[in-house]
Amino acid sequence: MKLLFLSSCVFWFSVQAFAQKIPDYKNKNLSIDKRVEDLIQRMTLEEKVLQLNQWAYGRNTNVNNIEEKKRAVRPEIGSLIFQSVNPVFRNQVQRKAIEESRLGIPMLMGFDIIHGCRTVYPIPLAQACSFNPDLATQACAVAAKESKLSGLDWTFSPMVDVARDARWGRVAEGYGEDTYLNSVFSAASVKGYQGKSLADPYSIAACLKHYIGYSLSEGGRDYHSSDVSPQTLWETFMPPFEAGVKAGAATLMSGFNDISGIPASANYYTLTDVLKKQWKHTGFVVSDWGSVANLIPQGFAADKKEAAYKSFMAGVEMDMVDNLYTEYLAELVNEKKIPMSKIDDAVKRVLQLKFQLGLFDKPYVVELPESERYFKPEDVAIAAKMAEESMVLLKNNNATLPLNSNVKQIALIGPMVKDSVNMLGSWAEHGIPSTVETIYAGLQKEFKNKANINYALGCDFDGNDESGFEAALEAAKNVDVIIACIGERKKWSGENASRSSIALPAIQERLIEALKKTGKPLILVLSNGRPLELVRLEPLADAILEIWQPGIAGGTPLAQIISGKINPSGKLAITFPLTTGQIPVYYNSRQPARPTLGRYQDISTQPKYWFGHGLSYTNFAYGDIKLSNTKIRKTEKLTAEIEITNSGAMTGKETVLWYVSDPSASITRPLKELKYFEKKELKIGEKRKFVFEIDPLRDLSFPDGTGKRHLEAGDFYLMVNNQKVKFELVD
Ligand code: BGC
């Protein structure tokens, strides 16, 4: 008995000793909730506030200066924008957090990995044109792995702002004009970045941005206010964010924009009522760069302290680089303006992610040499596949493409031919131009021993220098075909890259006019980050291929589309307006009062290319839409099928886009809305069935301005290609 008593005492004392040595928050065997709870009650107010701040850790390529940079970082800071790809630097600063702060809380390293880290893949707008979300998941997983190996834990991606104004440079960063397409890619990319679990070695946290309505910046001018009606907010902008939250996105970024009077970075309704209360998001919101302080110029806060107060109280948990939370939150708590419980809730959200990522238990990343971190062949293959599937054949008169075997002389002309900088697109901060396979390299490789390539620059992207025209015409003299590669510099799209005209600079148009005069077949290859005004260029071209900004691996896919080894399969995720003045023009606008009137008198009513447009080298013959019923109850499902035959002479991929139209409702509906899509490959002569199961609650209901969904009985139409079939929904 005595012995038993003694041994239980020993056990009790050793448990106590263990407990004293290892605080609960450091105990891997406890739940994340317990660890967070334990840690928060140990933290001072100052330590808590520092967790809610993000500083920038400058791009530092000088190894000798790293100590200085490191010293400037406070060890208690919650997060850093880590602008390096050097895991050694990351571990050095992280060591500072672990060893020099009282509680050893690791920092969260975030950065904009928007379309790949070193292995840069096509811009998001291009990815959406692939209509292949699985490929986006794979690409994001590659980005996550390379980011992790570079020292990152968190990317400020995906951008899921539905964008319909091509003057706004940031259309490049999102998934185009359609809400459903953005929602699908939102979930797909979150899945890619975050993997099965945030704790996986190559998972990083995703960040849905820019919550919300940012793409409606007035006139496409970046950073301007956006007038978003409650109806549009719920109908157009909320779904991609909701889809990302449902997919588990750890964080969101609040936008710069003023949403009809209440800025996005201080909007209690969107940040707290909707995101935290309704959608039950348990992660956190980071402000956009400086968007807390921006409340002052926006006229929503009189001074910095009020800006910090308003953002924080609205539901922005982390202040990106403004440093206003560090300066004012503690003061606001001491003045009893901000309750401690709100600080604790914010800190809990931040710490929770750090635990989920495993940072407390494994704060350091593996330090591999650069040569072992990036460009694995299987990862580059994903970038190439994405480039291939995102290229869109816009025009192909008289089967100009693919080139036939009689073509022996090719003129390859234009500022994009040998470009390796602009093909990377905006936000490819860690991309290296020398790793880009240029158009020139791709074509040289593909046409080696088959055709001779005459190259000429022709002209620069802009300016007025036509001195290269003569050499271009000379290069085009005795050829069978001219391939002219033109487009935008990468800085012409992306952030703070609004344009009053989406036409290419006149010099490029003049080059094409000059080339047209040769009378040779003329193929245009376009590389750009937004839809272009092609009203003058399109009539000059026999074929047009949109390659967007394809990243590092676009050269070969492009060359193989030209040679016919690859059948193009991309479709536009955004409408190409006829002229800039036609903006906004998108497929799912509301129905006009007088459908045939009220249009611009000076141009056609039609844009140049609608959303969903994209040609193939083969023909897909669509059978009739078959419905399992023509009348269903609200609780029943309706199955729609269509059989498609590849009736052409080449294997190809077809994406079937299923639209629904609701001609009469208590809140008017858009002309048609994409509800589902599916992409499949069909061999020559092959028939395949495409099926869409309509779930009335999901596919036929619509939100009102409060987000409440309505499902109303009545007639609906299902639309595919040029077909339209009616069905009825009854109570
Ligand atoms: C952009 C964000 C970006 C942030 C951090 C801001 O200027 O609007 O999209 O994530 O900077 O780089």
> Per residue in 613-626, pLDDT tens?
999 999 999 999 99
Measured in Å, residue 290 CA sits from the centre of ligand 1 at: 9
> Per residue in 138-195, pLDDT tens?
999 999 999 999 999 999 999 999 999 999 999 999 999 999 999 999 999 999 999 9
Q: Please, what sign has the CA dihedral across residues 236, 237, 242, 244?
A: positive
Which atom belonging to ligand 1 lies closest to the Cα atom of 253? 10
Measured in Å, residue 251 CA sits from the centre of ligand 1 at: 14
pLDDT of residue 7: 52
Measured in Å, residue 637 CA sits from the centre of ligand 1 at: 42
Is the separation of the CB atoms in 613 and 573 below 8 Å?
no
pLDDT of residue 57: 86
**Paired tokens of 553:** 């691996």
Model's pTM, two decimal places?
0.96
State the pairing for strand pair 154-155/108-111: parallel
The percent of the chain in helix, strand and coil, each rounded to the nearest 5, is 35, 20, 45
Ligand 1 interacting residues, C-beta cut-off 6 A:
112, 156, 209, 288-289, 495
User: 712 phi and psi, to 5 degrees?
Assistant: -115, 135
Residues of the chain with pLDDT under 70: 1-20, 60-61
Rounded to the nearest 10 degrees, how much is the dihedral formed by the CA atoms of 220, 225, 226, 228?
-170
pLDDT of residue 390: 98
pLDDT of residue 20: 59
E strands along 339-417, which residues?
392-396, 409-413
Measured in Å, residue 390 CA sits from the centre of ligand 1 at: 25
> Per residue in 249-278, pLDDT tens?
999 999 999 999 999 999 999 999 999 999
* Ligand 1 pocket mutation, candidates 113, 257, 495, 496, criterion most atoms within 8 A of CB: 495
State the Cα–Cα distance between residues 234 and 256, nearest whole angstrom: 19
Question: Which 3 state secondary structure label does DSSP give 656?
Answer: strand
- Cα 40–chain centre separation: 34
* Ligand 1 pocket mutation, candidates 79, 289, 319, 496, criterion most atoms within 8 A of CB: 289
Give nearest CA residue, ligand 1 atom 12. 112
Is the separation of the CB atoms in 157 and 141 below 8 Å?
no
Is the separation of the CB atoms in 674 and 667 below 8 Å?
no
Which run of H or of E encompasses 381? helix 377-390
Give nearest CA residue, ligand 1 atom 2. 288
Measured in Å, residue 161 CA sits from the centre of ligand 1 at: 13
The C-alpha angle 140, 141, 146, rounded to 5 degrees, equals: 95
Give nearest CA residue, ligand 1 atom 6. 289
pLDDT of residue 64: 76
pLDDT of residue 13: 45
Is the separation of the CB atoms in 684 and 648 below 8 Å?
yes
| Reduced 3-state DSSP string for 448-491 | CCCCEEEEECCCCCCCCCCCCHHHHHHHCCCCCEEEEEEECCHH
State the Cα–Cα distance between residues 371 and 365, nearest whole angstrom: 16
Tokens 């334990």 sit on residue: 38
State the Cα–Cα distance between residues 531 and 536, nearest whole angstrom: 14
List active site positions: 288
- The domains of the chain, with CATH numbers, are 35-370 (3.20.20.300), 383-582 (3.40.50.1700), 620-729 (2.60.40.10)
Tell me what the pLDDT averaged over the chain comes to: 96
Question: Which 3 state secondary structure label does DSSP give 526?
Answer: strand
Is the separation of the CB atoms in 388 and 557 below 8 Å?
yes
